[in-house]
Structures are given as structure tokens and as C-alpha cells.
Amino acid sequence: MTAGKARAMINLSEGAIDALADEIDRRALADEAFTPFEEPELSSTCSSWRSGPRR
């Protein structure tokens, strides 16, 4: 993988993380809860970020 492609992937990931964090913040400020349907999706997305890339 070239450095340019790696940087593009990092930038894309940062954008996705920022968008999700913004949604969580927006809901928290509006005192809106996530539905039971949304919670597993959010949890699995966040846990995959913490565990690093899949091989």
C-alpha cells in the first residue's frame, strides 16, 4: 500500500469517527436516547475502532 492510499484511508476513518461522535453528542445534548435497534450497531462500530484493523 502506498503512503497516499494509507493517508486516504486514515482520513476517511477519521471522518466516519467524527460523524458518529457528532451524532452521539447531538443526541446527548437533545436528551435523545438510542433505540434498542441502534445500540448494537453503535457498540459494534465503536468496538471495531478500538480493536484496530482486521487482518
Tens digit of each residue's pLDDT (9 = 90 or more) over 6-50: 999 988 888 888 888 898 899 889 998 888 887 777 776 666 655
10 Å CB burial of residue 34 (0-12, 13-18, 19+) is middle
CA dihedral 15, 17, 19, 23 (to 10 degrees): -170
Report the C-alpha gap between 42 and 7 in whole angstroms.
Answer: 25
**In the numeric block, which cell numbers belong to residue 54?**
482486521
Report the C-alpha gap between 18 and 7 in whole angstroms.
Answer: 16
What's the confidence (pLDDT) of residue 49?
A: 58
What's the confidence (pLDDT) of residue 47?
A: 64
What's the confidence (pLDDT) of residue 55?
A: 45
